[in-house]
Structure 1
Amino acid sequence: MPLVCVCSPKGGVGKTTMAANLAWALARSGSKVLAIDFDVQNALRLHFGVPLSDGRGFVARSAENPDWSQAVLTTGGNVFVLPYGDVTEEERVRFEDHLTQDAHFLPRGLSTLLNYPGLVIVADFPPGPNPALKAVAELADLHLVVMLADTASVSLLPHIENNRMIGKALNNKAGHYFVLNQSDTRRNISRDVTAFMQQRLDDKLLGVVHRDESVAEANASQQSIFDFSPVSAAAFDIELIARRVASLLDIQVGNGELHGSLRSR
């Protein structure tokens, strides 16, 4: 059960879109994939065709029901999603208090899913330091840090390098890697930042995703980039990143439908 955490020191970098399309890419290779949303914005579900009006999720019920697998929604094919859900401020605070104060809260909630044979989990987190990112650190197999090809992202590299995200190294298993998003060859600053990141990060840079209007259009239609525009530059870039993630984690291509303890919506 590989667990991939998608995070970033800043918002607005396309982190959730990256998490969703990574999940789709891994599923296209035959893996059974679960996308989990730890961000109160509850936006990850929209990338999998879950209606905006569907406010179901695991956070509001997490204190009463320790098995979060009961909140999993099917999306078709090999991809499943565990939405954050629509919650009140009181429910959000209670959930984060549990994450902070109870070291067994998150492992207990994910235990059924973590032990599901052949399942790959891609988890999306809020930007910057947050309780969920810290709580999942011991369970995660790999962290993928999404940055933009801009100067703001360069200035935030020390947040990762100096362990400011969770107060220690992000990952002690396969490690943490970077993805540079929306690199635009038409803009000098974007080209310069991309070249700098490639030199600075070396093999820690898992891939560069070029700016592609197809991504925004795919998001608007609640489709993956692979369904909306399979021959686009972004589809090629993300497919390559997914292959590298699979190689790092020795993810085996599987077959068949996901069933058993995971529910259909």
Structure 2
Amino acid sequence: MPLICVCSPKGGVGKTTLAANLTYALARSGSKVLAIDFDMQNALRLHFGVPLSDERGYVAKSAESYDWGQDVLTAGGNIFVLPYGDVSEEQRLTFEHNLATDEHFLARGLGSLLNYPGLVIVADFPPGPSAALKAITPFADMHLVTLLADTASMSLLPHIENQRLTGGELNHNHGHFFVINQSDTRRQISRDVTAFLEERLGEQLLGIIHRDESVCEANASQKSIFDFSPSSAAAFDIEIIARKIVAKLGINVGDGTVHNVSRKSGL
């Protein structure tokens, strides 16, 4: 059960889009993949064709002791999504309080999913420190930190290096890595920042995604970049990143077959 956490010290970096397209890329290799949304914006579901009017999610019921896997939605093929859901402010605060104060809360909710054989989980988090990111870190196999090729993202590197996202080491298993998003070869500042980050991050830099208008168009169509524009630069870049993740985590590439699974898990 590899668990990949997609996070960032900064908002607006394309983190959710990356999490969604990584889910598609890993599923294309034959893995059964679940995308989990820990961000109250509840936007991850939109990348998988879930209607804007669909308010289902696990957070509203999470105060109860139940298996969150019951709220997993099928997104076609090998892909599944667990939406955050439409919640009140009181429900959100209760959820975050439970995450911060009950060390077994997350394990109870995700129990069947964390133990499901062969399932790859991609989790999307709100920008900056969060109770969810801190709570899930002991279970995570890899953290993938998303940055833009701009000076604002570059200035936040110390937030990662000084352990400000979780108050401790970001990953205890395979480590944490970086992705530079929207690197624009047409702009000098973008080229300079990309070059600086390449030198600064070294082997921790998992990949660079070049600026590609196809990504925005794919998002608007609620499609993956692979379905919308398979020959685009972004599709190529994300595919390479997915292959590196597979290699680093030792994920067994399947044959693309979707097998019957327990109703209890929702998969």
Normalised to the residue count of structure 2, the TM-score between the two structures is: 0.98
Give the conservation status (yes or no) of the 8 Å contact 2:5–2:140. yes
Which residue number corresponds to residue 20 of structure 2? 20
Which residue number corresponds to residue 91 of structure 2? 91
Q: Match of 1:241, as an amino acid?
A: I
Give the conservation status (yes or no) of the 8 Å contact 2:31–2:254. yes
Structure 2: unaligned runs, 5 residues or longer: none
Q: Match of 1:165, as an amino acid?
A: L
The share of aligned pairs that are identical, in percent, is 72
Give the conservation status (yes or no) of the 8 Å contact 1:149–1:183. yes
Q: After TM superposition, give the deviation of residue 139 of structure 1 in Å.
A: 0.3
Q: Match of 2:242, as an amino acid?
A: A
Which residue number corresponds to residue 261 of structure 2? 260
Which residue number corresponds to residue 42 of structure 2? 42
SS in 2 for 1:25: helix
Moved over 4 A (4+): none
Which residue number corresponds to residue 30 of structure 2? 30
Which residue number corresponds to residue 104 of structure 1? 104
SS in 1 for 2:137: coil
Give the conservation status (yes or no) of the 8 Å contact 1:147–1:153. yes
RMSD between superposed Cα atoms in Å? 0.8
1:233 and 1:258 map into 2 onto residues whose CA distance is: 33
Q: Match of 2:102, as an amino acid?
A: D
1:80 and 1:174 map into 2 onto residues whose CA distance is: 24
- Measured against aligned partners, the alpha-carbon deviations of 1:33-92 in whole angstroms (never above 9, x if no partner) come to 000000000000000000000000000011124200000000101000000000000000
SS in 1 for 2:42: coil
The residue correspondences of 1:1-265 to structure 2 (distance < 5 A) are 1-255=1-255, 256-261=257-262, 262-263=265-266
Give the conservation status (yes or no) of the 8 Å contact 2:58–2:84. yes
- More off after superposition, 42-51 vs 254-263: 254-263
SS in 1 for 2:52: coil
Count of equivalent residues: 264
Give the conservation status (yes or no) of the 8 Å contact 2:145–2:179. yes
SS in 1 for 2:94: helix
Q: After TM superposition, give the deviation of residue 209 of structure 1 in Å.
A: 0.1
Q: After TM superposition, give the deviation of residue 258 of structure 1 in Å.
A: 4.6
SS in 2 for 1:138: helix
1:153 and 1:206 map into 2 onto residues whose CA distance is: 16
1:259 and 1:64 map into 2 onto residues whose CA distance is: 27
Q: Match of 1:30, as an amino acid?
A: G
Structure 1: unaligned runs, 5 residues or longer: none
Give the conservation status (yes or no) of the 8 Å contact 2:134–2:166. yes
Q: Match of 1:157, as an amino acid?
A: L
Give the conservation status (yes or no) of the 8 Å contact 1:13–1:146. yes
